[in-house]
Chain A
Amino acid sequence: MSDEQTFLDALSARGTRRGAEPTWIAARRQAGAARFEALGFPTRRDEAFKYTDVRAIARGDFTLAQDAQDLTPLSPATAAALTLPLEALRLTFVDGIFAPELSDLAALPSGVSVEPLSQALADNHEAVGGALGRLAGVDFSPFTALNTSFAEEGAVIRLAPGTVVEAPILVQFLSRANATPLMSHPRVLIEAGARSQATVIEHQVGEEEAANFSNLVSEVMLERGAILTHYKLQEASLKDLHVSSLHIDQGRDSRFTSFNLNLGGSLVRNDIVAELNAQGAEANYYGLFFAQGRQHVDNHTLVNHNAPHTFSNENYKGILGDRAHGVFNGKVIVRRESQKIEAHQSNANLLLSDRAEIDTKPELEIYADDVKCSHGATTGQLDEEAIFALRARGIDEETARGLLTLAFAGEVMEQVSLDAVAERVERTVAGKLPERFNLAGLVEVAAALDEE
């Protein structure tokens, strides 16, 4: 049986158990399945997957949590420990299934709706159908097609024009340790009305022994003047497999800021695609990937400058130890008529071991002639002079290296305004280092100083 057939069989098995659905949904599932079958899983011969081998996913045998017979419940204490400690509107999914008991939407202000996809469909499926899939069709990648064929659950976030949501909206995807590996294909839809403003966090996290596959597709639509800050904090277990694509459609004067922070997962592939469709639209991409052991993390980003006077800025940092493999592919396309745009891109990588590997590839396709564009990629090691300077003050070598690693990540993290996220990243980056010294304590001292 082919790798694809395993997934198609799971899909038809699910189809027999799932209740009746509106025809447009059934049609999309079919289209997704057909496209997935035609494309098949990507191989290294596909340019977009040149450095990323997805056989660990393709050859897996994953069960949907909805169909699993042997589910191990996730204890509330575990869920609480995994949850980011911040005041937020919270939607929680455990292996793709909505968990109302771990969600909290009590403080939902007016003008904003945050619902699980199943609820939004039940309420008014036609209102969802117009937007869902508009940016992420089945052609984007075999994984998007697969997601389209399976997707049943996820988050729908809608902001009415002018609505400013103070509290971050946290969508957390928990992955549990289970005897049978599970898969989920969640879908996130964010529609931000004119001049609305919000922060959305997608948080992938799970139990240490979890070994599941998640395949997320998110679509974000920003109307004129909307401002959205999007965090992806990916702290999946070191056995989890994770693929995601994030698609953004930007109207005039809208601003999208992405923090793509990857700390976990054994095999991770993230795609981010922003369409800057009207003048004044601005996209900022900040990324950090920290991988050790044999982790593989691939980030593919794309900005389409479809209109004049649009702006993009990208800064990605990679930190790779042991035999970890990182991929950064940052593409910017400037159309012929998109004059007076600005696009800046930078990717810096830190290799902590001789066997760690980075493939970094900036791709700029510029067809307009009056633009400001820059890009740069660097790869280096820790500064031995700086390590000596720290050791000469009594700091042991491991800690000195940890501090400097943290510092390298710090350049992107300074842009992170959510302390809970910044701290989680800082502690993870420092905490994964040998624990001779409590590096995390340093974060607190700096914070204490700020408060005085």
Chain B
Amino acid sequence: MLEVKDLHVTVEGKEILKGLSLTINPGEVHAIMGPNGAGKSTLSAVIAGKDGYEVTSGTITFEGKDVLEMDIEERACAGLLLGFQYPVEIPGVKNIYLLKAALNAQRAARGEDEMPAPEFMKLVREKIKFMKMDSSFLQRAVNEGFSGGEKKRNEILQMLLLQPKLAMLDEIDSGLDIDAMKVVADGVNSLRDANRAILMVTHYQRLLDHIVPDVVHVLVDGRIVKTGGKDLALELESRGYEWVLEESAA
């Protein structure tokens, strides 16, 4: 589904990713862990198409298509969706506006008609209930004045509505208390199915107790240095990252 090969990325002249390779198949949940500054957030930002990241070599393909040749919105419409670590506040744009505009843009890209308003409202209400959010959130400006936890729930709400093929979640657990974590994890877990993949970037093992990954990667200094099953995350939690570095250097 997603194939990243020997990716090199520089930010403001500094090389952040130094030959990263990664393969994600449908139905899989991957977690990328690593110390601060390893390049975890860079990877998902590059896949989503954020400005300021220069790909100096390597490829990213999604379902056989060259992702680096696609516009930001094309990537999203193709089913590549990024849940932000720090969701931006958009004053004056109501949540309901964003959801409708995004959903219809994606439908249009697939050649489908706009979803009729009553059907749309029914769908939104169902998803918002699942995320234990009050319907008043729909009329509020996107993320404006939301707490950290509310912003993250809002990201997942968008995922539930837009149903991406590959959901990328960048530090979705940061700033969440345990109750919010459960709601967010339930949301993410509801997305799991045989045709969809999830890529989580996280600093802490804690999230992985709630969203159990199939594959865990350790990203250190711009490269994936170790890949394993869910137990690897537990090992990292107890032993830290040093041993992985030593092992890969050996």
A residues with a Cβ closer than 8 A to B are 383-386, 388-397, 399-400, 403-404, 406-408, 410-411, 437-439, 441-442, 444-446, 448-450, 452
Residue of B49, B73, B98 with most partner-chain A CB within 10 A: B73
Among the listed A385, A411, A450, which residue makes an inter-chain contact with B92, where contact means beta carbons less than 8 Å apart? Answer: A411
**B114 interface contact, C-beta 8 A:** yes
Q: How far is the CA of A388 from the CA of B76 in the complex (A)?
A: 11
Q: List 21 A-B contacts (CB under 8 A).
A: A386-B88, A388-B88, A389-B90, A391-B76, A392-B48, A392-B72, A392-B81, A393-B102, A394-B105, A395-B102, A396-B71, A403-B93, A403-B101, A406-B93, A407-B91, A437-B105, A444-B117, A445-B96, A446-B139, A449-B96, A449-B121
B142 neighbours in A (Cβ, 8 Å): 389
Among A383, A389, A399, A408, point to the contact of B87 (Cβ < 8 A).
A389
Known pairs A390-B101, A407-B141, A445-B100; list 20 more (Cβ under 8 Å): A383-B88, A384-B51, A386-B88, A386-B93, A388-B72, A390-B90, A392-B84, A393-B76, A393-B105, A394-B73, A394-B102, A394-B105, A394-B109, A404-B90, A407-B90, A407-B93, A439-B101, A445-B96, A446-B97, A450-B139
Residues of B within 8 Å of A396, CB to CB, are 71, 73, 105
Nearest Cβ on chain B to A405's Cβ, whole angstroms: 10
The reply on B120 being an interface residue by CB < 8 A is yes
Contact A391:B72 (CB < 8 A) given known A385-B88, A386-B90 = yes
- Chain B positions within 8 Å of A410 at CB level: 92
CB distance from A316 to the nearest CB of B (A): 16
The number of residue pairs between A and B whose CB atoms lie closer than 8 Å in the complex comes to 118
Please name all residues of chain A whose beta carbon is closer than 8 Å to the beta carbon of B82 when the two chains form the complex: 392
CB nearest neighbor in A for B143: A389
Distance in angstroms from A437 CB to nearest chain B CB is: 7
Contact yes or no, A394 B88, CB < 8 A: no
Separation in Å of the B69 CB from the closest CB of chain A? 16
Interface positions of B from 112 to 148, Cβ below 8 Å from A: 114, 117-118, 120-121, 138-139, 141-142
A445 contacts B91, C-beta separation under 8 Å? no
Are A395's CB and B92's CB within 8 A?
A: no
Let me know if B182 is at the binding interface, CB within 8 A. no
Is A452 a contact of B97 with CB atoms below 8 Å? no
**Across the two chains, which residue of chain B brings its CB closest to A384?**
B51
Interface size on B, residues (CB 8 A): 43
List chain B positions with a Cβ less than 8 A from chain A: 48-51, 71-73, 75-77, 81-82, 84, 87-94, 96-98, 100-102, 104-106, 108-109, 114, 117-118, 120-121, 138-139, 141-142, 158, 162
Which chain A residue has the least Cβ–Cβ distance from B92? Answer: A407
Taking the nearest CB of chain B, how far is it from the CB of A427, in angstroms?
14
Q: Which of A384, A392, A395 has the most CB of B within 10 A?
A: A392
- Does B121 lie within 8 Å of A452, measured CB to CB? yes
A445, B138: Cα distance in complex, Å: 11
A397 to B73, CA, bound (A): 8
Nearest CB of B to A392, in Å = 5
Q: For chain A, what secondary structure do more than half of its interface residues adopt (helix, strand, loop), or is it mixed?
A: helix
* A445 and B120 form a contact (CB under 8 A): yes
Question: Which residues of chain A are within 8 angstroms of B118 by Cβ–Cβ distance?
Answer: 448
Of the candidates B84, B89, B90, B142, the one having the most CB atoms from chain A within 10 angstroms of its own CB is: B90
Whole-angstrom CA separation of A109 from B82 in the bound complex: 58
Asked if A438 and B114 make an inter-chain contact with CB atoms under 8 angstroms apart, the answer reads yes
Is the CB–CB distance between A441 and B114 below 8 Å? yes
With A388-B50, A393-B162, A410-B92 as given contacts, are A437 and B97 in contact (CB-CB < 8 Å)? Answer: no
Instruction: Return chain A residues, CB-CB under 8 Å to B94.
Output: 446
A450 vs B72: C-alpha distance when bound (angstroms):
32
**Taking the nearest CB of chain A, how far is it from the CB of B62, in angstroms?**
14
Q: Is the CB of A394 within 8 A of B121?
A: no
Counting chain A CB atoms within 10 Å of each CB, the highest count among B88, B89, B100, B101 belongs to B101
A433-B108 Cα distance, complex, nearest whole Å? 18
Report A-chain residues with C-beta under 8 Å of the C-beta of B77: 394
Q: A449-B96, A449-B138 are in contact. Are A437 and B101 (CB under 8 A)?
A: yes
* The residue from A392, A437, A445 contacting B117, defined by CB atoms under 8 A apart: A445
How far is B94's CA from A407's CA once the two chains are assembled, in angstroms?
9
Name the B residues within 8 Å of A452 (CB-CB): 121
Inter-chain CA distance A348–B162, complex, in Å, is: 34
Smallest Cβ-Cβ distance to B103: which chain A residue: A394
B48, B73, B96, B139: the one contacting A395 at CB < 8 Å is B73
- Provide the bound-state CA to CA distance between A403 and B141, in Å: 12
Shortest distance in angstroms between A352's beta carbon and chain B's nearest beta carbon? Answer: 15
* Residues in A neighbouring B104, C-beta threshold 8 A: 437, 441
Check if B162 sits within 8 Å of A394, measured CB to CB: yes
Contact A394 B106 (CB under 8 A): yes
B92–A408 contact, CB under 8 A?
Answer: yes
Pair B117/A393 contact, Cβ less than 8 Å: no
- Considering the complex, give the chain A residue whose CB is closest to the CB of B138: A449
Q: Which residues of B contact A388 (CB under 8 A)?
A: 50-51, 72, 88
Chain A's closest residue to B94 (CB) is A446
- Find chain B residues with CB under 8 A from A450 CB: 139
Question: B158 to chain A: which residues have CB within 8 Å?
Answer: 393
